Structure 1
């Protein structure tokens, strides 16, 4: 018995990814969460990769006066008539983000109880909404952000540190809006959908402390400027704690999240004749470790039809981490996928896609990549050593060389990483 060559599953894999992204578009999920107009002014503020698209959707469904400013990533702006859109850097903040944040703080100052502030918050806001704590500089924040991204810390741990070095994160922006009513609309990009971890929680109370932030820095041996360490050790960076009366008129609503995106992809898989299984919407850990783990599950499915019967699709979301040790271009989705490829070692009938739903994996303008049973063979034919690429954190270089990168451009949303492992039933033919 011999096995037929594997068919090209890239179009189906891409349709799964596209369905996940489409389900998280603000135009689809934002309008039904809008509050009623206030007696006074309506001010719109926001930050994140989806904030401009959120602002446009809000404008299209809002009756009455409206003004405001949101800041998004370079290249993610969309035309708005009444809400100004500013662009700034991600994942390391820049002066444009600093300027836009100061203007947002000015917009919400001096409001009354008759006024309404609508905050549009999505992933990426941690670097776009930047206002260093007193005694710190933008350069300090840039250094810390860069070190955090390279440390292997989880997104929750990184955001804990960020909250205690800011004048807007950790509920401080909400406190600045008082006494106006504040309604926060969130697009979640974090495991567990905790509001405090989406853009480092600028409009929600923060139960963590400076001591917690300092412990994270020590745990990962993160090099920080002396002024940062002094701030945390002094306790002067404490954020807005739960029960603060300035947050009494604040409400928070998550309008879309990774689970919704995974369910949309599951529907596409089912229509294509594959049974979908959602393994989780908040898988974390080192990207390469998750690649090995899911390869083990895929291998069990192929060889023993356990715990799932092929044909099937294994779906998952969440945010992994990459501890940079090599000289490659990084990217947690491509690192996961390359690790998966190495562990599968050309196992027949297994195809996969992994990508960031915002269209940017790491610092690259590339969402992710696809994987096929012949991926390693094609790499070796080009003189590329897969294990060497993985050790060098060069997933982007590896998949670009094979022509298997997934490039979407700005998706205008962000519900974290998307992973799909498609497993075909074996197709056998007679042969000797």
Structure 2
């Protein structure tokens, strides 16, 4: 195994980082992970339900591997479908819920009702399901949930905090879908996009018990200065309705793909290319631009002092940063992270960076993320781009778009959240 040439060209460094990202995606593809975690065949029916950006890919993997009758419905984001034969795939709105998602949620709940003890529900759950599987609690309208979702998305709230609110404004999340399944066995497969991989948080846990309270949801809204509408407040302040005790079947949950698995695959690929990998964490959170500056500082330490490891090296991290939106620019949290990192490096001659969302969509744009090389800073100056001004306006997308440094994958049909790699040659 040989060390990369320290005079690695800007383009070669970009290609190396992109190859690490591709290896990470392969490691968390549902086509390989779903078949390893299937339940035994039941005596009765097998009904498949699901929601999330990976739901259609998970359904396709299940169809290919399942030896027996199968039917059901999953809902995924527009453009993230797969050509399933026995499981219906519906596409709906994300990150803001729409009517298609509401209708899908109603149909999914109807599919599991009336099942018996000999039947099996396989729930295919992945990130994005909170928006896609939308069933407003009694007294709420879809418009009210859309408005609140928009405000949460722009507030800087973490995914755990947003999903706490969503659970208590839903008639299907927070374990309510499993309750509707009655005596049927429920086997939940989860592709995790949340820091810590708590399956109860992914897609707001429609088949898993929830221990948060409406008061917790109200506390989140207060923390971010969000005044709930009268209808939202009434739902959260009303005494909880305890459903009548009913026979419940066995429950099993498997987390089948995680950010750590993606990072491990990228680290192994880095070693094979002669790099020393350092995984900084799989659950890093915080304001995206500030996390980027921290990564830049670590890269400078590696380049200048060989600490905490010597170059050639690659720093890897995952998790979900947040963006507090104050400007009107374009760009998701990965582009914002990367521009913060680039500013912190200011054209360092030995450092490259890549940040992308493993679902293929960074925020609401068509790119997965972006990358930079040692030449990016100078090229930006030559084009008259002010990195600081664009970052202040939440317009990191425009910076990397102008340089031709966007990472575009199209929908990957998996989702273990953000992937970040910083190469020090």
TM superposition score category, shorter chain reference: over 0.9
Partner residue in 2 for 1:139: 143
1:308 & 1:248 partners in 2: Cα distance? 51
Write the mapping of 1:22-33 to structure 2, written as runs, cut at 5 A. Answer: 22-33=26-37
Helix, strand or coil for the counterpart of 1:221?
coil
Helix, strand or coil for the counterpart of 2:75?
strand
**1:390 to 2:394 alignment:** no
Partner residue in 2 for 1:428: none
Write the mapping of 1:8-47 to structure 2, written as runs, cut at 5 A. Answer: 8-47=12-51
Helix, strand or coil for the counterpart of 2:146?
helix
Write the mapping of 1:3-402 to structure 2, written as runs, cut at 5 A. Answer: 6=10, 8-236=12-240, 249-402=250-403
1:157 & 1:87 partners in 2: Cα distance? 25
| Residue-by-residue CA offset, 1:147-202 (whole Å, 9 max, x unaligned) | 11000011100100000000111000111111100000000011000011100111
Q: Shift in Å at residue 246 of structure 1?
A: 5.8
Helix, strand or coil for the counterpart of 2:231?
helix
Judge conservation of contact 2:11–2:373 (CA < 8 Å) in 1: no
Q: Shift in Å at residue 240 of structure 1?
A: 12
Residue 348 and residue 235 in structure 1: after superposition, are their counterparts in 2 closer, same or farther (change >3 A)? Answer: farther
Q: Shift in Å at residue 274 of structure 1?
A: 0.4
2:398 & 2:182 partners in 1: Cα distance? 49
Residue 318 and residue 32 in structure 1: after superposition, are their counterparts in 2 closer, same or farther (change >3 A)? Answer: same
Judge conservation of contact 1:143–1:225 (CA < 8 Å) in 2: no
Q: Shift in Å at residue 222 of structure 1?
A: 1.7
Judge conservation of contact 2:184–2:249 (CA < 8 Å) in 1: no
Q: Shift in Å at residue 264 of structure 1?
A: 0.7
Superposition CA RMSD, Å: 1.8
Q: Shift in Å at residue 238 of structure 1?
A: 8.3
Helix, strand or coil for the counterpart of 2:201?
helix
Q: Shift in Å at residue 372 of structure 1?
A: 1.1
Unaligned segments of structure 1, at least 5 residues = 425-432
Residue 117 and residue 248 in structure 1: after superposition, are their counterparts in 2 closer, same or farther (change >3 A)? Answer: closer
2:401 & 2:85 partners in 1: Cα distance? 39
Partner residue in 1 for 2:414: 413
2:244 & 2:155 partners in 1: Cα distance? 26
Residue 17 and residue 25 in structure 1: after superposition, are their counterparts in 2 closer, same or farther (change >3 A)? Answer: same
Unaligned segments of structure 2, at least 5 residues = 1-6
Residue 66 and residue 273 in structure 1: after superposition, are their counterparts in 2 closer, same or farther (change >3 A)? Answer: same
1:54 & 1:331 partners in 2: Cα distance? 25
Q: Shift in Å at residue 384 of structure 1?
A: 0.9
Q: Shift in Å at residue 397 of structure 1?
A: 1.0
Residue 233 and residue 77 in structure 1: after superposition, are their counterparts in 2 closer, same or farther (change >3 A)? Answer: same
Residue 151 and residue 4 in structure 1: after superposition, are their counterparts in 2 closer, same or farther (change >3 A)? Answer: closer
2:309 & 2:337 partners in 1: Cα distance? 22
Q: Shift in Å at residue 348 of structure 1?
A: 1.6
Helix, strand or coil for the counterpart of 1:191?
coil
| Residue-by-residue CA offset, 1:246-304 (whole Å, 9 max, x unaligned) | 66611100011010011111111111110111111000011011011111111111111
Judge conservation of contact 2:183–2:249 (CA < 8 Å) in 1: no
State the number of aligned residues.
420
2:244 & 2:26 partners in 1: Cα distance? 35
Judge conservation of contact 2:184–2:248 (CA < 8 Å) in 1: no
Judge conservation of contact 1:42–1:116 (CA < 8 Å) in 2: yes
Helix, strand or coil for the counterpart of 2:166?
helix
Deviates more, 1:288-297 or 1:43-52: 288-297
1:53 & 1:202 partners in 2: Cα distance? 19
2:17 & 2:86 partners in 1: Cα distance? 38
> Structure 1 length normalisation: TM-score?
0.94
1:13 & 1:99 partners in 2: Cα distance? 41
Residue 317 and residue 237 in structure 1: after superposition, are their counterparts in 2 closer, same or farther (change >3 A)? Answer: farther
Partner residue in 1 for 2:4: none
